[in-house]
């Protein structure tokens, strides 16, 4: 990751649900995992129906074959050798064909015979079986009586065909029964697994989804293009010994399209897609999860090039031993997963995609090189993205001419793809209930109201909140732009990300191991720029700056105690060690200095922070027009990139103040 997100307007931590970590259960998640647990009742019914159908088909085939066999011989009488001999003597045999011990013939005039069962039959075609050693005088007799006779080789094709035709129905029946029973015993195994028949046998799937079906997540798409290329022509990559992407972790809030993207990668590369959800691995007997992982990987390897997709990987991949009631099954499954990830042959073109909305708790072992060492962030869409998603999902919905998708996209900040798909669905249902020919703008507006009221958390921030966030982030960005010694601002957004309601991104110019005092001071000013903008532009301050203030305090304290940047205290290190950029609270370690020194340290930290804050306020007040423009632009576009920022700076005449911060 080259972009470093530092300053964010924070969600009030007292709000119970972390924004984005929970979603309303009002059906907006539908279709995310494709098929939940199967209802055992219906599948049992289906299975019995299959058995019955198979038996009927088998019986029918049997009948057909045996009948057709019989019908060719239906009017042929079976007669004893003696009767035959008699008929020859009586000059009544017209012709005769020998085939092995069998002989069939035609009589001149029909006769009536009684068979062993007492049935009578009349006809002129007959069959009899010759005597075991043949009859040496028969040929002479036949010639004498002028019977037309011939012979066929004993092992005739007909015989083989007959045998096959007789046996085939049985083979079919036995084969079907075998398959049915094997399936039945398989599912039984799952029924016995504590009744949790969540068995979704890993099936090969070839999704027709493409990147065109996914919108508003262009960065993630760009990151995945390489994976598609690799799967399309693995030889090309392997020939040069290049490192192939093995594991890619898709990270993002629920409903942003992670599953959809994974399927689109498979669709784009037209390779088979093997998917399983993390929770499916865990909720079964010990050892079953691990063997499912093995199955999954075995199948995918056989079908290489292919994709394995593990949804909700946090269900298996949580840090081991982090909870007291450790879950053996989960750990076994996780270990198996690690083994499988390592066990790939370099020639096997199998890419493992995984999705999660909680990447922090993942076991570090999963993220090591060769495993899930690539991370693709799937962000909430900004309004352009939302518009594109609305367009995709309304493609097959007849829209009335008054529908303005742009205004709907504008009115739904914070909503993700699944929310928007749900919105369109609700609007279409509403239109159907009202017997309309097309979905109207009113349908959309009413559905949106309904969804917003039904949602557990506010899906959409109020106008006033958005205004504060826009000014806050604008303040971070502008203070960054106006100072020389800071990293360039790459992007500002008021689209929520994780805990943050807005983010300003900076790209460090190079890896820094040394921070100059100027750099650190500029950092303090930018970090306080958010809070300062609230004061300058809105007149009151909010709780959104908590994270900023923690960072500021940590940096200022380090400047004083570690780096000797306070003239009053001089160049002395007061051994307090922590990462100045982690923003963590200060450790209460043992101190090596007096109470008096401690008080001076506090005063100095205070002084530095105050100075930085007043500088931030000064900068923003001096460039109020620019600040207003940035905030307005943020409200309009939600995301503003470096180029747009630069344009605003030039247009408002602020550019001259900070020539060096542009590169």
Q: 180 Cβ partners below 8 Å, 6+ apart?
A: 47, 50, 51, 54
What's the order of all strands across the beta sheet hosting 489-493? 4-10, 500-506, 489-493, 639-641
Which of helix, strand or coil describes residue 371? coil
Let me know: does 349 contact 231? Beta carbons within 8 Å.
yes
Selecting among 268, 329, 426, 473, the annotated active-site residue is 473
- For the four alpha carbons of 368, 371, 372 and 374, in that order, the dihedral sign comes to positive
Q: Which is nearer to ligand ADP, 216 or 267 (CB)?
A: 216
User: DSSP secondary structure string, 472-520?
Assistant: HHHHHHHHHHH-SSSPPEEEEE-S-BTTEEEEEEE--SS--S---HHHH
If one asks whether residue 474 binds Zn ion (CB under 5 A), the answer comes out as: no
Kindly state whether residue 534 participates in binding Zn ion, applying the rule CB under 5 A.
no
The three-state (H, E, C) secondary structure of 236-271, written as one string: HHHHCCCCCCCEEEEECCCCCCHHHHHHHHHHHHCC
Number of Cβ atoms within 10 Å of the Cβ of 456:
11
Q: Does 548 bind Zn ion (CB under 5 A)?
A: yes
Q: Which stretch binds Zn ion (CB under 5 A): 384-392, 404-412, 546-554, 651-659?
A: 546-554
Residues 336-355 that bind ligand ADP (CB under 6 A): 355
Closest CB 355 distance from ligand ADP, rounded Å: 6
Residue 321 and residue 276 in contact, taking contact as beta carbons nearer than 8 Å: no
Token duo for residue 457: 């958390």
Site of tokens 């076991």: 363
Stretch that binds ligand ADP, among 61-69, 100-108, 190-198, 414-422 (CB under 6 A): 414-422
**DSSP summary character for residue 537:** I
Closer residue to Zn ion, CB minimum distance, 244 or 525: 525
C-alpha 349/C-alpha 351 separation (Å) is: 7
Residues numbered 476 to 515 that lie near ligand ADP (CB under 6 A) are none
Torsions phi, psi of 10, nearest 5? -90, 145
Among 20, 234, 254, 267, contact with ligand ADP (rule: CB under 6 A): 254
In 3D, which of 223, 245, 219, 358 has the Cα closest to residue 308?
Answer: 245
Tokens 């807005």 sit on residue: 502
Dihedral angle of Cα 324, 329, 335, 340, to the nearest 10 degrees: -160
Q: Tell me how far apart the alpha carbons of residues 159 and 164 are, in angstroms, rounded to a whole number.
A: 9
Contacts to ligand ADP from residues 370-409, by CB under 6 A: 389, 392
Closer by beta carbon to ligand ADP, 257 or else 267: 257
C-alpha dist (Å) from residue 405 to 384, 401, 408, 566:
11, 11, 5, 56
Q: Is the dihedral of CA 247, 248, 252, 255 positive or negative?
A: negative
Cβ proximity to Mg ion: between 26 and 485 the closer is 26
576 binds Zn ion (CB under 5 A): no
Q: How far is the CB of 526 from Zn ion (least distance, A)?
A: 9
Nearer to ligand ADP, 26 or 597 (CB): 26
Q: Which is nearer to ligand ADP, 459 or 560 (CB)?
A: 459
Shortest Cβ distance from residue 417 to ligand ADP (Å)?
2
Q: Per rule CB under 6 A, is residue 217 in the interface with ligand ADP?
A: yes
Cβ distance to Mg ion smaller for residue 193 or 279: 279
Shortest distance, CB of residue 535 to Zn ion, whole angstroms?
Answer: 13
Positions in 13-42 near ligand ADP (CB under 6 A): 31-32
Q: Does 215 bind ligand ADP (CB under 6 A)?
A: yes
For ligand ADP, which stretch binds (CB under 6 A), given 91-99, 124-132, 258-266, 491-499?
258-266
Contact status: 258 vs ligand ADP (CB under 6 A): yes
* Separation of CA 106 from chain center: 74
Contacts with Zn ion, 2-31, as mask; x by CB under 5 A:
-----x-x----------------------
Name the DSSP class of 584: P
Contact of residue 7 among Zn ion, Mg ion, ligand ADP, none (CB under 5-8 Å per partner type): Zn ion
Question: What's the closest the beta carbon of residue 9 comes to Zn ion, in angstroms?
Answer: 5
Would you give the DSSP letter of residue 578?
-
The least CB distance from residue 28 to ligand ADP, in Å, is: 8
Quickly tell me which residue has 């960005």 as its tokens.
477
Closest residue to Mg ion in the complex (CB): 259
Q: Scanning residues 54 to 93, which ones bind Zn ion (CB under 5 A)? A: none
Is residue 214 a contact point for ligand ADP (CB under 6 A)? Answer: yes
Tokens standing for 391? 């367009």
Closest CA to 552 of 531, 583, 576: 583
> What does residue 77 show for φ and ψ, rounded to 5 degrees?
-85, 140
Strand partners, 309: 275, 353
Residue ranges that bind Mg ion, judged by CB under 5 A: 32, 259
Q: Is 257 in the site for ligand ADP (CB under 6 A)?
A: yes
Q: Is 473 a catalytic residue?
A: yes
Nearer CB in complex with Mg ion: 378/605: 378
Counting Cα atoms < 13 Å in the Cβ hemisphere of 210 gives 5
Work out how close the CB of 599 gets to ligand ADP at its nearest, in angstroms, rounded to a whole number. 51
Site string for Zn ion, 494-533 (x = CB under 5 A): ------------------------------------x---
Nearer to ligand ADP, 172 or 397 (CB): 397
* Residues of the shown chain interacting with Zn ion in the complex, contacts defined by CB under 5 A: 7, 9, 530, 548
* Residues of the shown chain interacting with ligand ADP in the complex, contacts defined by CB under 6 A: 31-32, 214-217, 252, 254-260, 355, 389, 392, 417-418, 421
What are the catalytic residues?
A: 473
């Amino acid at each position: 990751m080259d972009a470093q997100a530092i300053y964010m307007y924070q969600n009030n931590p007292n709000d119970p649900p972390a924004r984005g970590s929970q979603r309303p259960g009002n059906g907006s998640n539908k279709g995310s995992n494709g098929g939940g647990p199967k209802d055992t009742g219906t599948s049992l019914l289906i299975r019995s129906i299959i058995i019955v159908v198979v038996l009927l088909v088998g019986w029918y085939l049997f009948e057909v074959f045996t009948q057709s066999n019989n019908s060719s011989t239906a009017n042929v009488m079976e007669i004893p050798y003696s009767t035959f001999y008699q008929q020859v003597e009586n000059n009544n045999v017209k012709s005769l064909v020998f085939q092995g011990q069998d002989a069939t013939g035609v009589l001149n005039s029909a006769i009536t015979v009684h068979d062993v069962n007492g049935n009578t039959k009349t006809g002129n075609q007959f069959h009899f079986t010759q005597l075991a050693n043949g009859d040496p005088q028969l040929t002479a007799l036949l010639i004498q009586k002028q019977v037309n006779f011939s012979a066929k080789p004993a092992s005739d094709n007909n015989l083989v065909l007959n045998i096959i035709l007789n046996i085939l129905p049985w083979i079919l029946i036995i084969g079907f029964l075998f398959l049915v029973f094997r399936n039945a015993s398989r599912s039984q195994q799952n029924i016995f697994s504590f009744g949790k028949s969540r068995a979704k046998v890993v099936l090969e799937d070839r999704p027709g989804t493409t990147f065109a079906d996914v919108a508003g997540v262009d960065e993630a798409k760009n990151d995945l293009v390489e994976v598609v290329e690799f799967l399309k022509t693995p030889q090309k990559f392997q020939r040069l010994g290049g490192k192939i992407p093995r594991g890619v972790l898709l990270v993002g809030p629920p409903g942003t399209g992670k599953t959809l993207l994974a399927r689109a990668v498979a669709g784009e590369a037209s390779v088979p897609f093997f998917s399983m959800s993390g929770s499916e691995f865990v909720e079964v007997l010990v050892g079953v999860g691990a063997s499912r992982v093995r199955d999954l990987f075995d199948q995918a390897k056989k079908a290489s090039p292919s994709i394995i997709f593990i949804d909700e990987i946090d269900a298996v991949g949580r840090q081991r031993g982090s909870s007291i009631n450790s879950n053996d099954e989960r750990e076994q499954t996780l270990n198996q997963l690690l083994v499988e990830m390592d066990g790939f042959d370099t020639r096997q073109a199998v890419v493992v995609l995984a999705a999660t909305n909680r990447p922090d708790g993942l076991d570090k072992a999963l993220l090591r090189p060769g495993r899930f060492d690539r991370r693709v962030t799937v962000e909430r869409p900004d309004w352009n993205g939302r518009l594109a998603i609305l367009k995709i999902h309304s493609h097959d919905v007849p829209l009335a001419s008054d529908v303005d998708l742009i205004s709907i996209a504008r009115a739904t900040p914070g909503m993700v793809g699944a929310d928007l798909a749900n919105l369109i669905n609700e609007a279409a249902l509403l239109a159907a209930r009202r017997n309309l020919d097309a979905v109207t703008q009113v349908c959309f507006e009413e559905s949106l109201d309904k969804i917003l009221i039904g949602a557990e958390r506010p899906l959409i921030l109020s106008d006033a909140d958005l205004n504060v966030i826009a000014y806050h982030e604008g303040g971070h960005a502008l203070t960054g732009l106006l100072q020389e010694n800071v990293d360039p601002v790459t992007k500002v957004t008021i689209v929520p990300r994780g805990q943050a309601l807005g983010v300003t991104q900076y790209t460090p110019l190079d890896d820094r191991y040394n921070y100059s005092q100027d750099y650190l001071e500029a950092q303090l000013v930018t970090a306080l720029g958010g809070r300062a903008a609230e004061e300058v532009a809105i007149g009151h301050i909010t709780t959104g700056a908590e994270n900023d203030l923690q960072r500021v305090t940590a940096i200022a304290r380090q400047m004083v105690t570690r780096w000797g940047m306070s003239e009053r205290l001089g160049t002395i290190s007061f051994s307090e060690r922590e990462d100045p950029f982690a923003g963590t609270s200060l450790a209460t370690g043992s101190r090596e200095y007096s109470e008096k020194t401690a008080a001076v340290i506090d005063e100095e930290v205070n002084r530095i922070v105050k100075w930085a804050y007043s500088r931030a306020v000064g900068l923003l007040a001096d460039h109020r027009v620019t600040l207003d423009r940035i905030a307005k632009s943020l409200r309009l576009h939600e995301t503003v990139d470096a180029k747009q920022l630069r344009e605003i700076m030039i247009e408002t005449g602020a550019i001259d103040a900070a020539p060096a911060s542009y590169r």
